[in-house]
């Protein structure tokens, strides 16, 4: 059901030995620069030219168009139990349970003329596909064939979608889609893990993310009973050299083995974080990659004596900035939540935000929470000071049941995430999820809804009114009529997947108006299962790059 407040409508060079020769070289360079201006016209990067009157003209930096690239989304491996605690060696894993199921679901959008781009799901580092959505050209099945006309009798385009549903996967996989002509593919995929027994009972859903050279992951814990494994994958053809930065509640953590981690192309490295930072209840990890870009996630699980305490795949938050917005913070009914958290050892089974301040200056934070009816003030007013180089927790336990968007503003750069929890009753297993901060929604983004859990989309607008356009995609690839959701400033609107129509497996999302943020929330009915993932950014990619000319 749509929540109240929603309106839904259909090197430098070596030193020279002779100063004179250096001067000559500079003169030659200047001459070449003048020649370049004479032959290339405006193709000068940031050049300042003085005219005879003394006025200066600043030429704009030119850009060069680049071909549309392939969409690549790396889906993390399913959670696995550790058989070895060797921190800096390859950890060994064992099967997680008898009921565990891991699947990957994806969607790729056709061109206006109905051409489906070539798209496959393959194991990382392997050329053999697990599944093929479309071949990218005409074949016996018609995939990629060109319709006779772009529009039908109703004046609508022939746009359709290719759909992959519940493909079994037992390792890291790559969902890829080729561009259509000069246009990059619009595509997306998610990995879904469910288990109702064993130490890793719970629900973990993670979108298949594009590789990056710099990202933050918050929410890890290495206390007694908690296991955190950082998994880094390199889908590129270039080796990646990775450096890690670790931050805990008491400040930065220096540890051996965090510099110069080499990840070969098509390979995945697993690092047990307890070997780098022991007994940390709030651990933030920054991943910096040189060479090939990488993707990363943290397999986080909790075991309280013999009772499963949940499992989640922690994914990167939005880039560090002065403002972090966390949508999809779901708070459980107070009666059940209080009964669970009152148990011995369950103090962390409560909702809370975590904020890391990576710089050397303390941060003044302002935490604001927006629900379906507007802003809800935190007991302390939400204003606090966070220590530099440390992770600070902010309790959200006072919030009534509902879905929320948390906005954290700061006078210095920060990154943020929020923990959510779900249980059925005291004494039974519980599960948790982490909602990382997200980026502002754009024109075309894809939310894939895996089966096996009840999904919902949460949208939050910190200020100003926004409109979100939702186009459901059915299992047969047909696009359903667009629906519009209005989000008032300072509110959160939840749209249940079931309310978008029958057989909906994905949603195309576009936003207009003031900034609005979104997340996917999933839970298991009747079981302790919950997971939150931010809506991935659009897959359009970079269509032009700046060109710097010099000598």
User: Which segment of 17-21, 180-184, 271-275, 370-374 scores lowest on mean pLDDT?
Assistant: 17-21
Most confident residue range from 112-116, 181-185, 375-379: 375-379
pLDDT at 193 over 90: yes
> What residues are paired with 528 via a beta bridge?
none
Beta-strand pair 454-461/119-123: unpaired
Position 65 scores a pLDDT of 64
pLDDT at 292 over 60: yes
Place of tokens 């200066």: 56
Which three-class secondary structure state does DSSP give residue 334?
helix
Q: How far apart are the first and last CA of the chain?
A: 62
Are the beta carbons of 77 and 231 closer than 8 angstroms? Answer: yes
pLDDT at 145 over 50: no
Distance of alpha carbon 296 from alpha carbon 320, whole angstroms: 16
Q: pLDDT tens digit string along 198-234?
A: 999 999 999 999 999 999 999 999 999 999 999 999 9
Sequence-ordered list of residues with C-beta below 8 angstroms from that of 153, at least 6 positions apart, any chain? none
* CA distance to 59, 159, 344, 382, per residue, from 519 (Å): 42, 26, 32, 23
Position 183 scores a pLDDT of 77
Confidence of residue 67 (pLDDT cuts 50, 70, 90): low
Position 393 scores a pLDDT of 97
Confidence of residue 541 (pLDDT cuts 50, 70, 90): very low
Average pLDDT over residues 148-170: 75
* CA distance to 108, 109, 438, per residue, from 163 (Å): 7, 9, 25
Position 500 scores a pLDDT of 96
Position 535 scores a pLDDT of 93
SS3 of 147-171: the string is CCCCECCCCCECCCEEEEEEEECCC
More reliable by pLDDT, 19 or 495? 495
Q: Of 289, 214, 277, which is closest to residue 249 (Cα–Cα)?
A: 277
pLDDT at 48 over 80: no
Position 11 scores a pLDDT of 39
Place of tokens 């050299």: 241
Angle (CA) 309 311 315, round 5°:
140
Q: pLDDT tens digit string along 91-131?
A: 666 556 788 999 999 999 998 888 899 999 999 988 789 99
pLDDT at 262 over 90: yes
* Assigned token pair, 424: 């059925």
Query: Dihedral sign, CA of 320, 323, 329, 333?
Result: positive
Distance of alpha carbon 340 from alpha carbon 342, whole angstroms: 5
Q: pLDDT tens digit string along 14-41?
A: 433 333 444 334 434 444 443 333 333 3
The CB density around residue 112, as the number of other CB atoms within 10 Å, is: 14
Query: Dihedral sign, CA of 142, 148, 154, 156?
Result: positive
pLDDT at 6 over 60: no
Q: pLDDT tens digit string along 422-467?
A: 999 998 999 999 999 999 999 889 999 999 999 999 999 999 999 9
Percent of residues, the chain, with pLDDT higher than 90: 72
Position 60 scores a pLDDT of 64
Distance of alpha carbon 391 from alpha carbon 157, whole angstroms: 50
Confidence of residue 9 (pLDDT cuts 50, 70, 90): very low
Position 113 scores a pLDDT of 81
* pTM summary value: 0.83
Position 16 scores a pLDDT of 38
Chain center to CA of 489: 24
Confidence of residue 45 (pLDDT cuts 50, 70, 90): very low
């Amino acid at each position: 059901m749509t929540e109240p407040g929603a309106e839904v409508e259909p090197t430098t060079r070596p030193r020279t030995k002779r100063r004179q020769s250096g001067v000559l070289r500079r003169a030659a360079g200047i001459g070449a620069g003048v020649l370049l201006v004479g032959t290339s016209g405006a193709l000068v990067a940031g050049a300042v030219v003085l005219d005879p009157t003394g006025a200066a003209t600043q030429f704009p930096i030119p850009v060069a168009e680049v071909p549309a690239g392939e969409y690549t989304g790396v889906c993390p491996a399913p959670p696995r139990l550790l058989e070895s605690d060797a921190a800096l060696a390859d950890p060994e894993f064992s099967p997680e349970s008898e009921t565990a199921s891991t699947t990957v679901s994806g969607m790729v959008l056709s061109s206006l003329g109905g051409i489906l781009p070539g798209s496959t799901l393959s194991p990382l580092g392997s050329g053999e596909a697990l599944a093929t959505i479309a071949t990218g050209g005409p074949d016996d099945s018609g995939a990629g064939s060109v319709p006779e006309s772009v529009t039908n009798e109703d004046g609508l385009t022939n746009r359709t979608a290719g759909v992959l549903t519940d493909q079994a996967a037992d390792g890291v996989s790559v969902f890829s889609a080729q561009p259509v002509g000069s246009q990059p593919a619009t595509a997306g995929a998610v990995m879904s893990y469910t288990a109702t027994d064993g130490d890793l009972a719970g629900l973990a859903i993670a979108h298949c993310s594009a590789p990056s050279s710099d990202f933050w992951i918050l929410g890890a814990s290495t206390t007694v009973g908690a296991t955190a494994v950082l998994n880094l994958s390199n889908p590129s053809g270039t080796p990646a050299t990775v450096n890690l930065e670790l931050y805990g509640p008491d400040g930065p953590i220096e540890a051996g083995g965090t510099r110069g981690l080499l990840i070969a192309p098509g390979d995945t490295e697993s690092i047990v974080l307890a070997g780098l930072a022991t007994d940390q209840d709030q651990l933030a990890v920054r991943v910096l990659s040189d060479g090939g870009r990488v993707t990363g996630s943290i397999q986080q699980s909790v075991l309280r004596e013999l009772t499963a305490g949940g499992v989640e795949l922690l994914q990167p938050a939005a880039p560090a900035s002065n403002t972090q917005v966390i949508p999809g913070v779901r708070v459980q009914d107070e009666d059940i939540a209080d009964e669970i958290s009152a148990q011995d050892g369950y103090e962390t089974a409560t909702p809370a935000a975590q904020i890391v301040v990576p710089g050397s200056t303390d941060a003044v934070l302002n935490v604001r929470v927006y629900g379906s009816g507007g802003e809800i003030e935190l007991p302390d007013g939400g204003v606090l000071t966070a220590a530099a180089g440390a992770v600070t927790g902010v309790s959200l336990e006072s919030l009534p049941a509902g879905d929320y968007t948390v906005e954290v503003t700061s006078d210095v750069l920060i990154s943020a995430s929020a923990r959510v929890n779900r249980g059925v009753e005291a004494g039974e297993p519980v599960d948790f999820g982490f909602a990382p901060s997200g980026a502002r929604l754009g024109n075309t983004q894809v939310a894939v809804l895996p089966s096996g859990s009840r999904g919902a989309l949460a949208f939050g607008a910190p200020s100003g009114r926004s409109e979100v356009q939702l186009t459901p995609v059915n299992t047969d690839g047909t696009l359903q009529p667009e629906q519009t959701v209005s989000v008032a400033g300072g509110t959160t609107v939840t749209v249940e997947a079931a309310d978008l129509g029958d057989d909906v497996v994905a949603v195309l999302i576009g936003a207009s108006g003031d900034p609005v943020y979104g997340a996917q929330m999933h839970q298991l009915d009747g079981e302790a299962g919950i997971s939150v993932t931010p809506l991935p950014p659009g897959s359009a990619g970079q269509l032009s790059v700046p060109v710097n000319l010099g000598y």
